[in-house]
Amino acid sequence: MNFSVFLRGKEMSKKKFKEKKAKRDKKERSGLYSSLIQFLEESNGKAYSVEQLIRKFGLKKKSLIEDLFKLLDVLIDDGVVQQLDNGHFKSAKRASTVTGVVDHVNPRFAYVTTGEEGKKDIYIRSNDLATAIHGDTVEVEVFNKRTGENPEGRVSTIVKRGRNRFVGRIELSRNFGFVVPDFKKIYQDFFIYPENLNGATTNDKVLFEVVKWADRDKSPEAKVVEILGKTGENEAEIHSIMAEFELPFRFPENVLQESEKISEGITPEEVKKRWDFREVLTFTIDPEDAKDFDDAISFRTLENGNYEIGVHIADVTHYVQLGTALDEDAFDRATSVYLVDRTVPMLPERLSNALCSLRPHEDKLTFAAVFEMDTKGKIHKEWFGRTVIHSNHRFTYEQAQEVIETGAGTFAEELKILNQLHHILRKERFKKGAVNFETTEVKFKLDERGKPLAVVPKIRKDAHKLIEEFMLLANRAVATYVFKMKKGEEKNTFVYRTHDLPDQERVEDFARFAKQFGHQLSIESTSISKSLNKLMDTIEGKPEQNVLQSLAVRAMAKAKYTTDAKGHFGLAFDHYTHFTSPIRRYPDMMVHRLLQHYLDKGKSVNKKQYEDKCVHSSEREKRAADAERASIKYKQVEFMSLAENKVYDGIISGVTDFGVFVEIVETKCEGMVRMADMKDDYYEFDEKNYRVIGRRRKKIYRLGDKVQVRIKRTDVDRRMIDLSFE
């Protein structure tokens, strides 16, 4: 071979090698560039040193390490990467932010709920909460990367603390104290200096106030505001529940003073403005222990053979005027709250138990819906307006039921006719698609100190249903009347009680579960109510009744107050409102005022203003329901703490990833068998099929299964019953 040709070939190989190497290096640099940007952007704001980045990308060549430095300089100049004071590097890309409320699910993580329809809650690890606690409004940086179904993020700013007063149990050491909060969704203690204990000692239940919120890794500081009593005492525990849900302990002095100044007398001038029913037979039917009677029924037979039935409701708004301290306080409370041993009323006693209470043998001012009905329950005429009544008799439900069953006693003929009409109205309602949920409720028999002696199921009979049916009739009629007052699109603003169609996905899950018990359910929106009613009839008296009923209720949407004139799915009414309980519900007071305003030919009121009031009322209603459940749970735990040590029959009422809930058949009390205590196997949660399955032995515990359990421990403080399977 010619030597010059050989050299030329070698030079060509070197050139190709250099070109290939340059291409490879360029590719590596290009790959490093994109990988570096992607890595920092997906690091969710975390910063890294150069050494960490070198290790991360496995850079061993000196040229690539030099390239990393050059790339970082370029990216900083371009505003893509930010260098911190400590020399570390992070992505300069701002994370998207959302604002929402913290729901601290368990010690490990929380969700931030935005309240925006269709948007998923943001998953937050507890370490990323930045001292925020349950109920706080926060701003969240949403990560660019997620590992689960929900977006993930970290709290960047605490916008607003949900509250700064809580209830808990004091624990003292030599130089300081801690208070352990009662509220299950707060997973930290609060530090208290001795000078802020205000006389509290170990095991006292106290109301405390935060004086300094925590920095990271430190407990917040607090001071004792009020000593509620010793842990475990009824008064202390009930006050604890009231404080936990921020229920008022007492009425403000100015509100009480206003209530005392209201005139009790009914003037002839006032009577002239009203339809006088004082000579018409009128009576009330209420629970035996009721103190306020806000509804009465009047009855008479007309000359044409039809019946005139009046639903008369306490005229609270005659006494409680807009703009007064009384009205403002009633709006803030929005509802009375019925705890196991007491009522937290919406109105002071002078109004609720005296002025507005439709007590027998007293003239009372009322607001009424009056109906002319024939023997077949058809309504021929209706009238709405203010009335004055004189109740002839006060029935308890038990007394009225006895008269209905025996056909003898006070006003036996009138009660018989009303009962026949109630059955007609009820049958018609279900024919139109109303859903029949008859869930079992319980009440406690308490001694004079509040200790539970027995758990008694509430039994609903015809007397209860009679009153319920006529109240439903009045509520529906008032809503329909106001809705139809104006023709066309523009309707009068009004307060409705609405109930949306159930969520389709939940209904499908429920139908799948019911099928495991051999029950078929139609999930078509046009036939679901009738199919549900058929199912409820089929399961009555069967072991799965309670479980399927409670699951069906969970599948339903929640009823709410709104100015939107939507229907009520559960009752199968096109329009529905709350008109019949103004002593205990503020929306009913709004309805009375609006109805009278429109009867007086007033113009439509501001929709936005009333919608805000509806939202507030719905929120207060939820608070009341949660507090009532907490008080029942407390009494259940206390009752079971006194129960004998024996094996109980139970039904699995709930399944979660941390345990199995069991309702004890004998007492209707619910406890939990913790997954950690199920030592015979490692159990895994099957969410879709409401069950847990043992990994090795394949033993299944399913919602609705009959089981036997024993009480393992009771914790009154946390309102929890721990059970073990037998």
pLDDT of 135-176, one tens digit each? 999 999 888 766 777 888 888 889 999 999 999 999 998 888
Q: What is the CA radius of gyration of the chain?
A: 33
For 384, list phi and psi in degrees, rounded to 5: -130, 135
Q: Is the pLDDT of residue 20 over 50?
A: no
pLDDT digits (tens, 9 = 90+) for 576-615: 999 999 999 999 999 999 999 999 999 999 999 999 999 9
Q: Is the pLDDT of residue 27 over 70?
A: no
- Residue pLDDT, tens place only, 34-68: 777 777 766 666 778 888 888 777 787 777 777 77
Average pLDDT over residues 318-325: 96
* Domains of the chain by start residue, with CATH: 12-91 (1.10.10), 96-160 (2.40.50.140), 165-231 (2.40.50.700), 489-622 (no CATH), 643-725 (2.40.50.140)
CB 562 within 8 A of CB 614: yes
Chain centroid to CA 664: how far?
24
Which of 27-36, 69-78, 284-293, 516-525 is predicted with the least confidence, judged by mean pLDDT? Answer: 27-36
Question: Is the model's pLDDT at 401 over the cut of 80?
Answer: yes
Q: With helix as H, strand as E and coil as C, how does 333-383 read?
A: HCECEECCCCEECCCCHHHHHHHCCCCCCCEEEEEEEEEEECCCCCEEEEE
pTM flag (> 0.95): no
Tokens of 484: 């139809």
Mean pLDDT of the chain: 88
Mean pLDDT of 366-379: 97
Where is 228: in which H helix or E strand?
strand 221-230
Q: Is pLDDT at 70 greater than 90 in this prediction? A: no
**Residue found by looking up tokens 């806000």 in the block:** 294
**Residues 653, 547: contact at Cβ < 8 Å?**
yes
Q: State whether the Cα torsion 181-132-721-166 is positive or negative.
A: positive
Please list, in sequence order, all residues whose beta carbon lies within 8 angstroms of the beta carbon of residue 490, skipping any fewer than 6 positions away.
604
What does the pLDDT look like over 615-649, one tens digit per residue? Answer: 999 999 999 999 999 999 999 999 999 888 899 99
Percentage of the chain exceeding pLDDT 70: 93
3-state secondary structure of 319: helix
Structure tokens at 440: 């079992």
More confidently predicted of 421 and 686: 421
182-231 pLDDT, tens digit per residue, is 888 888 899 999 999 999 999 999 999 999 997 766 789 999 999 999 98
- Please check the confidence at residue 460 and state whether its pLDDT lies above 60: yes
pLDDT-derived band at 420 (thresholds 50, 70, 90) equals very high
Q: Is 163 exposed, middle or buried (0-12, 13-18, 19+ CB in 10 A)?
A: middle
Give phi and psi for 430, each to the nearest 5: -70, -30
pLDDT mean over 252-278: 95
**pLDDT tens digit string along 341-368?**
999 999 999 999 999 999 999 999 999 9
Indicate the pLDDT class of residue 87, thresholds 50, 70 and 90: confident
CA distance 726 to 707: 8
Confidence of residue 17 (pLDDT cuts 50, 70, 90): very low
- Our separate counts of H helices and E strands in the chain read 17, 33
50 has which bridge partners? Answer: none
Q: Closest Cα to residue 716, out of 227, 243, 103, 236?
A: 236
Query: Residue 628: what pLDDT?
Result: 94
The residue to which tokens 């399955």 are assigned: 693
CA distances from 163 to 134, 207, 213, 227, 434 (A): 9, 13, 11, 19, 40
Q: Is 491 helix (H, G, I), strand (E, B) or coil?
A: coil
Instruction: Sort residue 586 into left (φ over 0), alpha (ψ -120 to 50) or beta.
Output: alpha
